[in-house]
Chain A
Amino acid sequence: MATMNPVIEEAVAAPHGSGGLWSWVTTTDHKRIGVLYGVSAIMFFIVGGVEALLIRTQLALPNGDVLSADAYNQMFTMHATTMVFLVVMPAAAAFTNYFLPLLLGARDVAFPRLNALSYWVFFFGGLFLTISFFVGGAPDGGWFGYAPLSTQVGEVVRMDYWALGLQILGLASVLSSVNFITTVFTMRAPGMTLMRMPVFAWMAFVVSFLLLFSLPIVTVGLFQVFLDRNLGTLFFSAAGGGDPVLWQHLFWLFGHPEVYVLILPAMGIVSEVLPVFSRKPLFGRSFVIFSGIAIGFMGFGVWAHHMFTSGLGPVAEAAFALTTMFIAVPTGVKIFNWIATIWGGALRFKTPLLFSLGFIAMFVIGGLSGVTHSVVPADSQQHDTYYVVAHFHYVLFGGAIFGLFSGIYYWWPKITGKLLNERLGKVHFWLMLIGFNLTFAPMHILGLAGMPRRTYRYPKGLGFEFWNLIATVGSYVIALSIAVFLVNWWRTTRRGEAAGNDPWDGRTLEWTISSPPPHYNFDTVPLVHSEDPFWHEKYGEDEAGHAVPAVAASSGQPQAGLADEEIHMPSPSYYPALTAFGLFISLIGFVYVPVGLVAVAGGLLVTLWGLFGWSMEPLTRDGHE
């Protein structure tokens, strides 16, 4: 870089210092980015939760008038959009960011600045969707945005916010997928073969491929929606020779792999937690990994089961019924292996284990109701009713959210150095389990009794009154459980019990280092000899196969591997956040074309500036390697 023009060099110099707000904006440390994702996800979880409470309050009684129909349609659209794109996905991204390098024995992800860009693109995407509430109303055509309802042209720009918001959030996910895949391929510590990778890392790896291959499909579709709305194209207009059902294919070709994007990280977490709290290795480890891969592949072949009432014809309906039934097989394999993992263990019922066991129980219910959907004639009754709402909440709340909370309680001490309070954690778990079932179990009955989804009110006399009221009560119990969690968080921050390096007697590399981990993660890059490397360092097996403490337990660090004299860590950078900010400005411009074209141009200039500075930025703080 010796030839660099000094003016440019000055202009693109990397930021200094490591404290304060600014250091968070410029950070390229995978752990800090993970924390940013996590805190954002929790904040959006509260927003999405308030939306859910408003929905349930409206539906508590027949002919509710807490919300207008207009407000209600915004609420259910934004509740789904928020929970999928701004809560579960970033929460999984938080864990992947923070722990993928730690689990692999790496010091960071492959592309630290790209990682920061992912976060900031996500952040501004979330902000973009949120501001829609304040400028004429939030999107109101459903998170699935079925054409031609979503493409009806009017003065109302709500669905433009939706189409562009999903587009930009998709960009953030593609960027992190590329990053995580490269990280897995190139950054594993010596001896960390693919099959020795922890199952959570495996599931993050599979999820990255799912995102990489499914997001381009919906990207095309969202562009078409945007063009239909704003430039008068007719991709989805029947009158103009287009096809409304085409959108459904494009959306669900993304949308079904997306379901596995949401659930596989939670399955990965459960696969980490169960062995630790059972003091046994994961049963049938390679089967669990390969069933995850199988789910990933098969997830691309079941999309039309979201369209069993659209008129696919009996042949396609039969085919997708079969693929949908058979994706239950690898899912079942995972469940059986988890139960076999706790079988014969010494179960310590700490909060992370409770949430993981809750995950299994709730996910089994959701999986089985999913099988009833694959029975196409039965689905023609269940489709678009509360039965479906019940089903996917058992999978995505009882499944994904329970799994993610298991991960929060499990890894919190590693991230913060302090243990979350166990008593409050257990209160949180039981309240959430009870509230969850009160809310969603009655919805099975409501759906079969004929209550369609996305209806802002229901009349008296259809038998919907009682179970709706129960569901609303349940939703407030869930809210209470979240309040308990927030109290736990606040309390732990003030006076939490110090965790030490290894509070759970862990099995994987992240427990070998201090809590919170140093900036550079590992003093020396670990050398890995087996799966569960840390466990095998602490424990051996006697002739009967029982775990016994290793004779000469070392100091808690696996055998010294490659010693580094000088640890090079990525420097902070302004440019990822700047690049994302430019995209945000141009997005707002796109909503208000043609006037907004000014903002589009301005925003793209900022993005170009960001990319230019990025490419010219010196690699290290001092400008020399």
Chain B
Amino acid sequence: MIKRARLRLSFLALVVLASVAGCSSADPTNLESIVDGDYPQNSLNPAGPQARQIDDLFWMVFWIAVAVFVLVMLAMLVAIVRYRHREGRDRPVKQVHGNTRLEIVWTIIPALILAFIAVPTIAAIFDLRSPPEPGDNALEIEVIGHQWWWEFRYPEYGFSTANEMHIPAGRPVFLSMTSVDVIHSFWVPQLNGKRDVVPGRISNLTIQADAPGVYLGQCAEFCGLAHADMRHRVFAHDEADFEAWALAQAQPALIPTEGPAAGGWDTFQLVCAACHAVDGTEATAQFAPNLTHFASRTSFGGATFDNTEEHLRQWLRNPSAMKPMDPDRNDLASGRILGMPDFGLTEEQIDGLIALLDSLK
């Protein structure tokens, strides 16, 4: 209800209150802890063949643009310095109206420069848009955009995970992407450009990492309230590690039968199972992230928060206080989910759920 009240606040009051109210939400993860380097989401630090091809093209155009800029500004600065009017030194100004030859020259030269840029551009468009060949041994992953998290399905292995994609390094990964609600855009700058994820359509993107590592990304098409907190992480492994990870993920969950986690499972079935699935149990709903191997993930909440007990506790007390969501407008019947509601869980229930989640390795 805080939300409804806030909607009604006038413009100025909103601003003043918001600045005074200070931080009610947890800060997202400091991503320095995840990845080395100054700019871990940098498109200019490509880590795969697709991103590198784009990067090479960009720098070619960039240096041409710099050369043009310098020449044009030089001409302007020379004119400014040379032809400034000095007080008391009037001189007659020659009334030049134009010069057709010059006009032709400065029409043709830019056209030639642009034609020079156009050739590799068009070649790269067709190159980057063509799907991997059968011989490339590409891994296929289905990407499904939700407000405000990502679902990644591995059809070869028959499991689904959320916000964290694991891929084999050195192999192309062919993404088939769609959305269940609004338009999102999948983007891992170090592995390729972005591609919109549109409801009712399948869009494709090929990404590839040269080497094992963590590559960060986030939704790039404005998708509503928590657009900024719809992030994702791509973990590239060598082939053996990837295979081991995938086989582990494909296993059903082992539900604890005693201790606090067992109590947590009761709460889960009562409250959480309406939206979340745990493979190997009766919880199969697909409205929210599949939690079968939740404890194996480094983050949650749209890859925005570290997967720690403290963060989970905060989240279960009131998810919308950590990440802006609009669960008041959820409508399970029509499949429209705008975030996890505050269920008013007791501390005891929260302890149980945390124990349960911790057991879902």
What is the CA–CA distance of A453 and B91 in the complex, to the nearest angstrom?
A: 52
B203 surroundings in chain A (CB, below 8 A): 311
Would A314 and B126 count as touching, CB distance under 8 A?
yes
Partner of B83, one of A63, A347, A379, A545: A347
Partner of A461, one of B30, B121, B122, B219: B30
What is the CA–CA distance of A310 and B25 in the complex, to the nearest angstrom?
A: 33
Would B68 and A368 count as touching, CB distance under 8 A?
yes
Would A455 and B227 count as touching, CB distance under 8 A?
yes
Would A381 and B98 count as touching, CB distance under 8 A?
no
Would A462 and B31 count as touching, CB distance under 8 A?
yes
Q: A344-B94, A449-B43 are in contact. Are A148 and B199 (CB under 8 A)?
A: yes
Interface stretch of the complex, out of B136-144, B177-185, B288-296:
B177-185
Partner of A328, one of B43, B93, B114, B193: B114
Chain B residue at smallest Cβ distance from A548: B92
Interface string of A24-64 (1 = CB under 8 A from B): 00000000000000000000000000000010000000110
Would B84 and A349 count as touching, CB distance under 8 A?
yes
Q: A239-B199, A283-B96, A450-B42 are in contact. Are A333 and B226 (CB under 8 A)?
A: no
Within 8 A of A (CB), among B151-181: 181
Partner of A460, one of B30, B57, B329: B30
Name the distance in Å between A350's Cβ and chain B's nearest Cβ.
10
Name the distance in Å between B289's Cβ and chain A's nearest Cβ.
20
What is the CA–CA distance of A263 and B54 in the complex, to the nearest angstrom?
A: 30
A364 surroundings in chain B (CB, below 8 A): 68-69, 72-73
Q: A339-B72, A450-B43 are in contact. Are A244 and B200 (CB under 8 A)?
A: yes
Would A372 and B61 count as touching, CB distance under 8 A?
yes
Name the distance in Å between A342's Cβ and chain B's nearest Cβ.
5
Would A361 and B76 count as touching, CB distance under 8 A?
yes
Would A347 and B125 count as touching, CB distance under 8 A?
no
Q: A311-B198, A318-B126, A340-B102 are in contact. Are A65 and B83 (CB under 8 A)?
A: no
Partner of A457, one of B28, B85, B94, B181: B28
Would B194 and A381 count as touching, CB distance under 8 A?
yes
Interface string of A477-491 (1 = CB under 8 A from B): 000000000000000
A377 surroundings in chain B (CB, below 8 A): 53-54, 57, 121, 124-125, 128, 193
Partner of B93, one of A71, A152, A344, A380: A344
Interface stretch of the complex, out of B32-40, B243-251, B254-262:
B32-40
Q: Does A149 contact B (CB under 8 A)?
A: yes
Would B94 and A545 count as touching, CB distance under 8 A?
yes
A368 surroundings in chain B (CB, below 8 A): 65, 68-69
Interface string of A243-286 (1 = CB under 8 A from B): 11100000000000000000000000000000000111101111
B3 surroundings in chain A (CB, below 8 A): 70
Q: A148-B181, A342-B80, A448-B44 are in contact. Are A365 and B69 (CB under 8 A)?
A: yes
Q: Does A459 contact B (CB under 8 A)?
A: yes
Would A545 and B96 count as touching, CB distance under 8 A?
yes
Chain B residue at smallest Cβ distance from A343: B79
Q: Does A426 contact B (CB under 8 A)?
A: no
B38 surroundings in chain A (CB, below 8 A): 463
Within 8 A of B (CB), among A500-530: none
Partner of A347, one of B32, B33, B40, B84: B84
Interface stretch of the complex, out of B104-112, B264-272, B274-282, B341-349:
B104-112
Interface string of B44-64 (1 = CB under 8 A from A): 100000010110011001100
Would B201 and A238 count as touching, CB distance under 8 A?
yes
Name the distance in Å between B199's Cβ and chain A's nearest Cβ.
4
A347 surroundings in chain B (CB, below 8 A): 79-80, 83-85
Chain B residue at smallest Cβ distance from A378: B58
Task: Give the contact-size bracket for chain A.
Answer: 35 or more
Name the distance in Å between A117's Cβ and chain B's nearest Cβ.
29
Name the distance in Å between B70's Cβ and chain A's nearest Cβ.
10
Name the distance in Å between A302's Cβ and chain B's nearest Cβ.
13
Within 8 A of B (CB), among A267-316: 278-281, 283-287, 309-311, 313-314
Would B129 and A333 count as touching, CB distance under 8 A?
no
B6 surroundings in chain A (CB, below 8 A): 68, 70
Would B110 and A384 count as touching, CB distance under 8 A?
no
Q: Does B310 contact A (CB under 8 A)?
A: no
Would B103 and A284 count as touching, CB distance under 8 A?
yes
What is the CA–CA distance of A286 and B98 in the complex, to the nearest angstrom?
A: 9
Would B198 and A244 count as touching, CB distance under 8 A?
yes
Interface stretch of the complex, out of A136-144, A200-208, A407-415, A569-577:
A136-144
B316 surroundings in chain A (CB, below 8 A): none
Q: Does B22 contact A (CB under 8 A)?
A: yes
Would A69 and B18 count as touching, CB distance under 8 A?
no
Interface string of A438-475 (1 = CB under 8 A from B): 00000000001111111111111111000000000000
Would A309 and B114 count as touching, CB distance under 8 A?
no
Within 8 A of B (CB), among A540-558: 541-542, 544-548
What is the CA–CA distance of A145 and B357 in the complex, to the nearest angstrom?
A: 39
Would A333 and B103 count as touching, CB distance under 8 A?
yes
Would A71 and B14 count as touching, CB distance under 8 A?
yes
Chain A residue at smallest Cβ distance from B230: A455
Interface string of B180-212 (1 = CB under 8 A from A): 011101010100111110111101000000000
Name the distance in Å between A317's Cβ and chain B's nearest Cβ.
5
What is the CA–CA distance of A463 and B304 in the complex, to the nearest angstrom?
A: 16
Name the distance in Å between B321's Cβ and chain A's nearest Cβ.
11
What is the CA–CA distance of A89 and B246 in the complex, to the nearest angstrom?
A: 56
What is the CA–CA distance of A369 and B93 in the complex, to the nearest angstrom?
A: 36
A141 surroundings in chain B (CB, below 8 A): 222, 224
Chain A residue at smallest Cβ distance from B128: A377
What is the CA–CA distance of A156 and B8 in the complex, to the nearest angstrom?
A: 11
Q: Does A597 contact B (CB under 8 A)?
A: no
Would A278 and B61 count as touching, CB distance under 8 A?
no
Would A546 and B57 count as touching, CB distance under 8 A?
no
Q: Does B15 contact A (CB under 8 A)?
A: yes
Name the distance in Å between A443's Cβ and chain B's nearest Cβ.
14
Would B220 and A383 count as touching, CB distance under 8 A?
yes
Within 8 A of B (CB), among A321-373: 321-322, 325-326, 328-329, 332-333, 335-337, 339-340, 342-349, 357, 360-361, 364-365, 368-369, 371-372
Q: List 15 A-B contacts (CB under 8 A).
A: A65-B22, A138-B11, A156-B7, A313-B129, A321-B125, A346-B84, A364-B72, A377-B54, A384-B222, A454-B222, A455-B218, A461-B35, A463-B38, A541-B95, A544-B92
CB within 8 Å of A: which residues of B? 3, 6-8, 10-11, 14-15, 18-19, 21-25, 27-35, 38-44, 51, 53-54, 57-58, 61-62, 65, 68-69, 72-73, 75-76, 79-80, 83-85, 90-99, 102-103, 106-107, 110-111, 114, 117-118, 121-122, 124-126, 128-129, 181-183, 185, 187, 189, 192-196, 198-201, 203, 216-229, 304, 324, 329
Can you add 5 more A-B contacts, CB < 8 Å, to A244-B199, A381-B189?
A63-B27, A336-B72, A371-B65, A377-B54, A546-B92
